[in-house]
Amino acid sequence: MATPTRVDLDGNPIKPIIVCMIGAGGFIGSHLCEKLMAETPHKVLAVDVYNDKIKHLLEPASLPWGDRIQFHRINIKHDSRLEGLIKMADLTINLAAICTPADYNTRPLDTIYSNFIDALPVVKYCSENGKRLIHFSTCEVYGKTIGSFLPKDSPLRQDPAYYVLKEDASPCIFGPIEKQRWSYACAKQLIERLVYAEGAENGLEFTIVRPFNWIGPRMDFIPGIDGPSEGVPRVLACFSNNLLRREPLKLVDGGQSQRTFVYIKDAIEAVVLMIENPSRANGQIFNVGNPNNEVTVRQLAEMMTQVYSKVSRDPPLETPTIDVSSKEFYGEGYDDSDKRIPDMTIINKQLGWNPKTSLWDLLESTLTYQHRTYSQAVKQALSKAVPS
Ligand code: NAD
Ligand code: UDP
């Protein structure tokens, strides 16, 4: 039986395309490559300095999609092959970035170079060669909510007008320059403005994606296992590491900040819709998150403790969390986004996308993966550690 023709949201047949995916070896890139290989006919030129997270898609060459994915070990900071790959592709997706908060205040120069300077040639090559670009920005471009500046007891803080983040209406509110946390948000904002201006002045076909805390398997690393012992990944991996080592989860400044978490597999469906529906995605900035999955970081820690106890069958710790100051945890210059609720009107209207997975369910599948992947290695590392 012939495979049915895949159609876009307007009922037109989808033609196979070549995607140049920069940062394909990272967390989001690995899931996007997996989805494109398993469910679409598209080809991927996967660009990254690492490929550990997509090795299972590259080897053996006999995999059913073996001729549709090619890995190019390229550092986009200094490699003349980049323009050739962008020219060869129909669409470029740029995911490459330094995007872990622990780096923003401790390596602000690397953060700004990575998120702004290194992205410049990608935008330029797309614009000059008439190629479509999907650029990954961040929800952090919104910074703090307007509501966070109201008095603590103001009833207006409960009014969505003061906290819901809208692509075409909300301001970008960052802290002072000495709070170097905002180096990332500011670099991302400037590259967004540049992409937008290339669209307005030179006709670049672009889509900007603002992810709101996408989480799932393969996110970041477990310190001392598949990343540096002193490294500080994002919260999912920090808390997973604590749970695997049976040590209390560290709540920065009391864990009062609020986040909405979306399951990576839901979010990837939104990206595939953008790839395959250019007429609906071009010229748009999209929030991609799950407004129904809001928790404080403290509540996240409590839920992860419960879920991990279920999947590992270990009893929860007597003291599951401890408070640490942000200065102690991240160093000087840290600051935080207070609350991140994405407005979903634009992505709903253009692509009809909605997230599906509840926070409990996404934590259960993710922590099952973390336990299966890391628990033996962590046990071995702990047994080898010399008691002080
Ligand atoms: P990640 O760190 O897992 O992936 C980034 C990848 O880019 C890495 O594999 C890295 O090796 C690669 N890279 C970085 N610099 C490079 C260079 N100079 N040359 C070649 N490759 C390079 O991060 P992620 O979570 O997959 O995020 C992808 C994008 O989405 C980033 O732009 C990030 O800012 C954005 N984002 C993600 C989230 C999220 O929830 N995961 C939230 C906000 C924004
Ligand atoms: N956080 C925490 N403990 C940790 C790691 C992070 O309390 O071990 C907090 C951090 O201060 C922030 C939130 O968790 O308020 C989310 O942090 P993440 O690194 O995932 O990135 P962000 O959402 O701030 O971009």
Instruction: Tell me the per-residue pLDDT of 112-162, one tens digit each, with 9 for 90 and over.
Output: 999 999 999 999 999 999 999 999 999 999 999 999 999 999 999 999 999
At 2 the pLDDT is 65
Predicted confidence band of residue 22 (pLDDT cuts 50, 70, 90): very high
Q: Label residue 4 by pLDDT band (50, 70, 90).
A: confident
Crossing angle of helices 264-276/27-39, nearest 10°?
60
- What digits encode the pLDDT tens for the residues 29-69? 999 999 999 999 999 999 999 999 999 999 999 999 999 99
What span, in angstroms and rounded, lies between the C-alpha atoms of 347 and 359?
21
Q: Which helix (H) or strand (E) holds 199?
A: helix 182-202
Structure confidence at residue 280 (pLDDT): 98
Mutate to test the pocket of ligand 2, among 296, 297, 303, 334 (most ligand atoms within 8 A of CB): 297
End-to-end CA distance of the chain: 66
Give 81's pLDDT tier (boundaries 50, 70, 90). Answer: very high
Catalytic-labelled residue, pool 104, 125, 184, 334 = 184
Length of the chain: 388
In this prediction, residue 119 carries a pLDDT of 98
| Fold held by 97-380 | Rossmann fold (3.40.50)
- 123 close to 196: Cβ distance less than 8 angstroms: no
The 10s digit of each residue's pLDDT in 347-372 is 999 999 999 999 999 999 999 999 99
What tokens appear for 346 in the block?
């634009």
DSSP 225-255: TTB-TT----HHHHHHHHHHTT-PEEEEGGG
Residue 184 annotated as catalytic: yes
In angstroms, what is the span from residue 109 Cα to ligand 2's centroid? 21
Pocket around ligand 2 at a 6 A CB cut-off: 101, 140, 213, 234-235, 238, 250-252, 255, 257, 259, 297, 336
Q: What is the mean pLDDT of residues 195-213?
A: 98
* Helix, strand, coil share (%) of the chain residues, nearest 5: 45, 15, 40
